C-alpha cells in the first residue's frame, strides 16, 4: 500500500509581501514534497496565510483599510508564489476561511471543556512583530530577544495551562528523539522547557482582529493558537474526513528557527491537551542574511523572489537557495555568489555536460541511443559507482541535508565531464567508433540519473532534459534509477536545447 506523507510550510503573515526568506521555507518544503512523491509516497503539501492578529490589524490600519479587505488584497501574493516558484502544494489555507475558523473554535472548546483553559488577567510585555508574550527577564536592552520592540499589556485574558504540560513534553521529547531536527535546536527547546513553563495567554481583548471566543466575544483568540490549528483545519478537522484520517499526524512541519518554540512546545501541548496525536517531526532551518546583513525594510535590502526569478531564472533560484545554505544553519545571500554558482555549477558543469553530449550524439549517432552491451558498460567506473552515490544522496535527502545531496550530484557530473575529456569521443569518432558509442551511452545514461536526482530541485529544467533523453513521464521516479531501466538502445533523441544559459553580470 502507498504510504502517506504530510508536509507543511509555516503560514505567512500577510502584513507584507513575500520575500526571499519566505520563499526559502516554501522551496525547501517543495523539494521535500517532490522528493517524497518521487520516492513513491502519497504526499500532501500544505501552505497558506496567517491573516489574524495585531500585526496584520496594524498594517491594515496603516493603509487605511479594514483588515478583511487588506488580507484579501495581500494574500493572493502568497497564493501566487506557487506559480512563481513552481510549488507543488496541494492546498492553500487562509485563517480567515470558515473551514479554518470552525476547526480553531472546535479545538478551543475542547481545551476549555477539558479544563485546560481558564479566565484571568495578563500583565506583561508583548511584541507585535513576533506576536509573542515576554516576561521581564526575557528582555534584552528593553527589547524582545529578536530585537523587536515590546509594549506593556494589561488585559483580561484566557490562559492555557501550559505549566501542566512541562513533564509530559519532556517525556515526549525523550520518547521521540527525532521530533526536533536539527539536534542543536532540539537541545535549545529542551532547556527552555526544563527552565519552567508559564501558563500561556491565549486570548486578547485590546484589539478586534481575530477569531472571536464563543463564550466571550470581547476576546479574540491568540493568533498562534489560531494559526497552528491550520495544520489540522486544512484536513477538515474537527470532521473525521478521509484527508484527516490519512494525513494526521503530520510527518513534518518545516519552520524557521524563530518560530520553533511555537511548534515544538506550544503546539504539542495544545494537541496533548485535546488528546490529539502530535506531529512526527519539526524541522527548523536557519535565517538568510543579505550581503552579510539582516534583511529589513529599514535597511532597504529586502530581496523580492519575483525579481530574483526574473533576473536569474526560476530553477536557478530554487537551486541556489538549496545549494548555498546549509539547511538548519544561517546562511548568506548575495547576487555575486548566486551568479558564480549558477555559472559554475549549472551552466558550465551540468548544462555543458548535457549540451555537449547530446549535441555530439545528434551529429554522430543518427540521433539515436547507440547500440551497445548495457550490462558490460554498467561494470565500468562511471556507471558502477552510481548505486553508492544514490544511496548517499537518498540518506542526505532524508536528513534534509539538501546541499550535501546536491554535492553528490555535482560529484557525478564532475566525473562525467572528466570522463569525456579522457575518452575524447571526438577522437574516437575517427579511431574507434564502437568505443565512441559506448562512451556516449555511458554519458547519457549518467545524464538520466542526474536529471532524476535533480528533479525535486529543478523540476522544469530537469523535465526538459528528460524530454531530450526521451524518458517517459512515468519513468521519472527514483525506482527507475537502475540498470534494469537503462536507456533503450535505438531510442530517438530529439535535437538538444541548452537548459542553463550563463548569467552575465549587469
Ligand atoms: N505566521 C507565522 C507562522 C505561523 S505557522 C503556524 C510567521 N510568519 S512569517 O511570515 O513571519 O514567517 C514565516 C516563515 O518565514 C518563518 O518560518 C520564518 O522563519 C521565515 N523567514 C522569515 N524571514 C526569514 C529570513 N530572513 N530567512 C529565512 N527564513 C525567514 O512566523
Task: Please indicate whether residue 287, judged by its CB atom, sits closer than 6 Å to ligand 1.
Answer: yes
Strands (E), 305-399: 331-333
Does any ligand 1 atom lie closer than 6 A to the CB of residue 53?
A: no
Q: Are 179 and 219 in contact (CB under 8 A)?
A: no
Task: Say how many CA atoms lie within 13 Å of 204 toward its Cβ.
Answer: 24
pLDDT for the residue 83: 94
143-167 pLDDT, tens digit each: 999 899 999 999 999 999 999 999 9
Strand (E) or helix (H) holding 490? none
How would you classify the pairing of strands 42-50 and 282-285? unpaired
Pocket flag, ligand 1, residue 104 (CB < 6 Å): no
User: What is the arrangement of strands in the sheet containing 331-333, beginning at the earlier edge strand?
Assistant: 293-294, 288-290, 331-333
Predicted model pTM: 0.96
Cα–Cα distances (Å) from 5 to 26, 89, 279, 298, 405, in that order, read 16, 13, 11, 40, 20
**Which residue's alpha carbon is nearest to atom 13 within ligand 1?**
12
Longest CA span, the chain: 89
Whether ligand 1 lies within 6 angstroms of the CB of 13 is answered as yes
Q: Is the CB of 23 under 6 A from ligand 1?
A: no
Distance in Å from the first CA to the final CA of the chain: 53
Please tell me the predicted confidence (pLDDT) of residue 443. 96
Nearest CA to ligand 1 atom 22: 21
Grid-cell match 487605511, residue found: 64
Is residue 256 within 6 Å of ligand 1 at its C-beta? yes
Report whether residue 249 contacts ligand 1, using a CB cutoff of 6 Å. Answer: no
Ligand 1 atom at shortest distance from the alpha carbon of 258: 19
CA–CA separation, 71 and 73 (whole Å)? 5
**Minimal-distance CA residue to ligand 1 atom 10:** 12
Do residues 33 and 73 make contact, with C-beta atoms less than 8 angstroms apart? Answer: no
Q: What residue owns the CA closest to ligand 1's atom 5?
A: 10
Give the pLDDT score at 281: 98
What does the pLDDT profile of the chain (506 residues) look like in tens digits? 789 999 999 999 999 889 999 999 999 999 999 999 999 999 999 999 999 999 999 999 999 999 999 999 999 999 999 999 999 999 999 999 999 999 999 999 999 999 999 999 999 999 999 999 999 999 999 999 989 999 999 999 999 999 999 999 999 999 999 999 998 899 999 999 999 999 999 999 999 999 999 999 999 999 999 999 999 999 999 999 999 999 999 999 999 999 999 999 999 999 999 999 999 999 999 999 999 888 887 788 999 999 999 999 999 999 999 999 999 999 999 999 999 999 999 999 999 999 999 999 988 888 787 788 888 999 999 999 999 999 999 999 999 999 999 999 999 999 999 999 999 999 999 999 999 999 999 999 999 999 999 999 999 999 999 999 999 999 999 999 999 999 988 888 888 888 998 887 76
- Rg (alpha carbons) of the chain, rounded to whole number: 26
Nearest CA to ligand 1 atom 23: 21
pLDDT at 506: 65
CA of 456 to the centre of ligand 1 (A): 22
- pLDDT (0 to 100) of residue 370: 77
Per the CB < 8 A criterion, the answer to whether 18 and 77 are in contact is yes
Of 487, 294, 325, 302, the C-alpha closest to 404 is: 325
* Ordered DSSP codes for 89-151: -SEEEETTSHHHHHHHHHHHHHHHHTT-EEEEEEEEEEETTTTEEE-GGG-BTTB-TTS---E
Do 281 and 239 touch, CB atoms closer than 8 A?
Answer: no
Q: What is the pLDDT of residues 376-399, one digit of tens each?
A: 999 999 999 999 999 999 999 999
Residues 6+ apart with CB under 8 A from 355: 496, 498, 499
Mutate to test the pocket of ligand 1, among 11, 17, 25 (most ligand atoms within 8 A of CB): 25
Map residue 45 onto helix, strand or coil.
strand
pLDDT for 496 equals 87
The residue whose CA is least distant from atom 25 of ligand 1 is: 21
Distance 21 CA to ligand 1 centre (A): 7
CA distances from 111 to 169, 301, 366 (A): 17, 43, 71
Ligand 1 centroid – CA 351 distance (Å): 33
Q: Whose CA is nearest to atom 21 of ligand 1?
A: 21
Q: How many angstroms is it from 84 CA to the middle of ligand 1?
A: 18
User: Whose alpha carbon is nearest atom 8 of ligand 1?
Assistant: 12
- Look at ligand 1, atom 6, and give the residue with the nearest C-alpha: 228
Distance (Å) from CA 25 to ligand 1 centroid? 8
Nearest to 159 by CA among 195, 204, 97, 196: 204
Distance from residue 348's CA to the centre of ligand 1 (Å)? 34
Say what the pLDDT of residue 502 is.
85
Helices (H) and strands (E) in the chain, counts: 23, 15
Separation of alpha carbons 337 and 494, rounded Å = 34
Phi and psi at residue 305, to the nearest 5°: -60, -25
Amino acid at each position: 500500500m502507498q504510504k502517506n506523507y504530510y508536509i507543511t510550510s509555516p503560514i505567512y503573515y500577510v502584513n507584507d509581501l513575500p520575500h526571499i526568506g519566505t520563499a526559502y521555507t516554501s522551496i525547501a518544503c517543495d523539494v521535500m514534497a517532490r522528493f517524497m512523491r518521487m520516492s513513491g509516497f502519497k504526499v500532501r503539501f500544505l501552505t497558506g496565510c496567517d491573516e489574524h492578529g495585531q500585526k496584520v490589524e496594524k498594517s491594515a490600519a496603516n493603509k487605511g483599510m479594514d483588515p478583511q479587505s487588506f488580507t484579501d488584497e495581500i494574500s493572493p501574493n502568497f497564493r501566487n508564489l506557487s506559480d512563481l516558484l513552481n510549488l507543488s502544494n496541494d492546498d492553500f489555507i487562509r485563517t480567515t476561511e470558515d473551514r479554518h475558523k470552525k476547526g480553531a473554535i472546535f479545538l478551543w472548546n475542547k481545551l476549555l471543556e477539558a479544563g485546560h483553559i481558564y479566565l484571568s488577567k495578563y500583565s506583561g510585555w508583548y511584541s507585535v512583530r513576533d506576536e509573542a508574550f515576554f516576561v521581564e527577564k526575557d528582555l534584552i536592552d528593553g527589547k524582545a530577544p529578536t530585537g523587536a520592540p515590546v509594549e506593556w499589556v494589561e488585559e483580561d485574558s484566557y490562559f492555557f495551562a501550559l505549566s501542566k504540560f512541562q513533564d509530559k513534553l519532556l517525556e515526549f521529547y525523550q520518547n521521540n528523539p527525532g521530533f526536533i531536527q536539527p539536534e542543536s535546536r532540539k537541545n535549545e527547546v529542551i532547556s527552555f522547557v526544563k527552565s519552567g513553563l508559564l501558563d500561556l495567554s491565549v486570548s486578547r481583548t485590546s484589539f478586534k482582529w481575530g477569531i472571536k471566543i464563543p463564550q466571550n466575544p470581547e476576546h479574540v483568540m491568540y493568533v498562534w493558537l489560531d494559526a497552528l490549528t491550520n495544520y489540522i483545519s486544512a484536513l477538515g478537522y474537527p470532521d473525521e474526513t478521509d484527508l484527516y484520517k490519512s494525513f494526521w499526524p503530520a510527518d513534518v512541519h518545516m519552520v524557521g528557527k524563530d518560530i520553533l518554540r511555537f511548534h515544538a512546545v506550544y503546539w504539542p501541548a495544545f494537541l496533548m491537551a485535546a488528546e490529539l496525536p502530535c506531529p512526527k517531526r519539526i524541522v527548523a532551518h536557519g535565517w538568510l542574511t543579505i550581503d552579510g546583513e539582516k534583511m529589513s525594510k529599514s535597511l532597504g535590502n529586502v530581496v523580492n523572489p519575483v525579481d530574483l526569478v526574473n533576473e536569474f531564472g526560476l530553477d536557478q533560484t530554487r537551486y541556489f537557495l538549496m545549494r548555498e545554505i546549509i539547511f538548519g544553519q544561517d546562511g548568506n545571500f548575495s547576487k555575486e555568489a548566486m551568479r558564480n554558482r549558477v555559472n559554475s555549477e549549472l551552466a558550465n558543469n551540468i548544462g555543458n555536460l548535457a549540451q555537449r553530449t547530446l549535441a555530439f550524439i545528434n551529429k554522430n549517432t543518427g540521433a539515436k541511443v547507440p547500440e551497445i552491451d548495457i550490462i558490460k558498460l554498467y561494470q565500468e567506473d562511471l556507471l558502477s559507482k552510481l548505486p553508492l552515490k544514490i544511496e548517499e544522496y537518498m540518506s542526505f535527502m532524508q536528513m534534509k541535508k539538501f546541499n550535501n545531496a546536491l554535492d553528490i550530484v555535482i560529484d557525478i557530473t564532475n566525473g562525467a565531464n572528466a570522463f569525456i575529456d579522457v575518452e575524447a569521443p571526438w577522437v574516437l569518432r575517427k579511431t574507434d567508433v564502437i568505443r565512441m558509442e559506448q562512451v556516449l551511452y555511458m554519458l547519457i545514461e549518467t545524464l538520466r540519473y542526474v536529471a532524476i536526482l535533480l528533479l525535486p530541485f529543478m523540476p522544469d529544467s530537469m523535465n526538459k532534459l528528460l524530454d531530450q533523453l526521451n524518458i517517459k513521464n512515468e519513468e521519472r521516479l527514483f525506482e527507475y534509477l537502475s540498470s534494469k531501466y537503462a536507456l533503450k538502445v535505438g531510442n530517438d533523441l530529439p535535437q538538444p536545447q541548452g537548459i542553463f544559459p550563463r548569467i552575465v553580470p549587469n
